[in-house]
Structure 1
Amino acid sequence: MLIQMVSINVKEGHAAEFLEAFRINYEGTRKEPGNLRFDVLRDPQDENTFLIYEVFQSAEALEDHRKTEHYKECVRIIDPILAGPRTKLYYNAEMADFL
């Protein structure tokens, strides 16, 4: 299993627009056969800061995800409202029976 955590900061006043766009990605990703989990987390102290927690069966499943229309559409919408570049961290799940 591969875990991807994406940190995203949006420009002031664009949090609702970001969430609308990310719903497209969330709903599509949850239907992908290689996706095991997809959470959109919001910083309780900064409404413009988000962490996306994604669990995929494999690196190949993540690559397949990046080719989907819902992913591309989400990125197209959010890119202009980002306050800076998205940052990504990757982890392998060592003890994942809970999934």
Structure 2
Amino acid sequence: MFVVTVEFRSAPEHTGDFLTALRENARASLEVEPGCQRFDVCRDPKDQSRFFLYEIYDDAAAFQAHKATSHYGTFSERIESWTEHKAVAMFRLDGPPA
């Protein structure tokens, strides 16, 4: 399994729209991508403009397929001007799945 984490900070005036866009992308990923096994959208309770994504894919190819979808492209374009910070990390799941 291939794990991707993403940390975002949105412009404070766009946190509601940012959260909506994140949720829509997560829902579409889980519904239409057979290689996407998990897509959690998390938000810092002390800083509403700080978000964390935890995504699990079958493999790196499934993640690349995710990035090629139309919903991901729409999401990326939509949040571009709202994003103040973005950090992506990739891991291999070495323990038993939950």
Distance 2:45 2:22 in 1: 18
Distance 2:8 2:97 in 1: 28
Unaligned runs of 5+ in 1: none
Distance 2:15 2:35 in 1: 28
Greater strand share, structure number: 2
Cα shift readout 1:46-94 (whole Å, capped 9, x = no counterpart): 000000100000000000000001101111110100113x111111111
- In the superposition, the TM-score normalised over structure 1's length comes to 0.93
Greater helix share, structure number: 2
Cα shift readout 1:14-42 (whole Å, capped 9, x = no counterpart): 11010121222111100210011000000
Partner of 1:42: 43
Q: How many residues align?
A: 97
Aligned-pair Cα RMSD in Å: 0.9
Query: 4+ residue runs of structure 1 moved beyond 3 angstroms?
Result: none
Partner of 1:73: 74
Q: What does 1:1-99 align with in structure 2 at a 5 Å threshold? A: 1-31=1-31, 32-84=33-85, 86-98=86-98
One-letter code aligned to 1:81 = W
Unaligned runs of 5+ in 2: none
Distance 1:60 1:82, change over 3 A: same
